[in-house]
A and B are shown apart, each in its own frame.
Chain A
């Protein structure tokens, strides 16, 4: 595996349903990030992990959103009681920590959520 992988690539759901996205980072990277991108906008930071610890959460991450990274490997992002405003591309990225490396982020192909 040479890149960040995300699953599913596209999810269509009805309002009020729960959805879960999975991200598998580059294996030697211990930082993992979630971003959200809506049409015509740049990606917006949601949360990030260093190993299994969730170190920062954006104010964009409402109580309906939860992210986990058990054992510091893959991560999941769950959205409960989805709303139409949650429709977006959810992007995952990974990196080495800054200070020991360049801090370059590598992104996956994204998971597109459509809430009807």
Chain B
């Protein structure tokens, strides 16, 4: 059974710092991996999607990497801003015929000004 773990559970940083959020999964046979952002009481916003054949994806100040063999992904946020404060969720899609994303519990990020 696929399990997704995110470390740390919470992170507080001052504005301007570069930071890394970690995601690990137990079954390396995944179809894709998706990073989401969730603001309190809100739905999920897709940030980046990495296909299993890819090593990384970038969008603005965000960079996500994928190492399938070790079962790990990282989300790198450059020059953090208070507006980046949110919970970041990692999710994997098991395979091409897979029906549902399996989520981690998320990392709650707080960026202070």
Chain A interface (Cβ < 8 Å from any Cβ of B): 4, 6, 33, 40-45, 48, 55-56, 58, 89, 91, 93, 98-99, 102-110, 112
Label chain B's interface by main secondary structure. strand
- Chain B residues with a Cβ closer than 8 Å to the other chain, count: 27
Q: Does B76 contact A (CB under 8 A)?
A: no
- Enumerate chain A residues within 8 angstroms of B49, measured Cβ to Cβ: 102-104
Best-surrounded residue of B4, B44, B98 (most CB of chain A within 10 A): B44
Chain B contacts for A99, CB-based, 8 A: 96-97
A98 touches B31 (CB 8 A): yes
Q: From B6, which residue of chain A is reached at the shortest CB distance?
A: A42
Q: Answer whether A42 and B89 are a contact pair too, CB < 8 Å, given A106-B46, A107-B36, A107-B44.
A: yes
Q: Mark B67-107, 1 if CB is under 8 A from A, else 0.
A: 00000000000000000000001010100111111111110
A102 contacts B103, C-beta separation under 8 Å: no
Docked-complex contact B43 and A42, CB < 8 angstroms = no
A45 to B89, CA, bound (A): 14
A98 near B97 with CB under 8 A, answer yes
Task: Report the separation of the CA atoms of residues A17 and B104 in the bound assembly, to the nearest whole angstrom.
Answer: 32
* CB<8 Å pairs between A and B, sample of 22: A41-B105, A43-B91, A43-B101, A43-B103, A45-B99, A48-B99, A58-B100, A89-B41, A93-B44, A98-B31, A98-B93, A99-B96, A102-B51, A104-B34, A104-B49, A105-B46, A105-B91, A106-B46, A107-B44, A108-B43, A109-B43, A112-B41
What is the CA–CA distance of A4 and B43 in the complex, to the nearest angstrom? 10
B32 within 8 A of A: yes
Q: How far is the CA of A41 from the CA of B87 in the complex (A)?
A: 11
B61 at the interface (CB under 8 A from A): no
CB neighbors of A among B39-59 (8 A): 41-46, 49, 51
- Known contacts A43-B44, A110-B42, A102 near B100 by CB under 8 Å: no
Q: Which of B41, B101, B106 contacts A105 (CB 8 A)?
A: B101
Which residues of chain B are near A112, meaning CB under 8 Å?
A: 41
CB-based contact B31/A91 at 8 Å: no
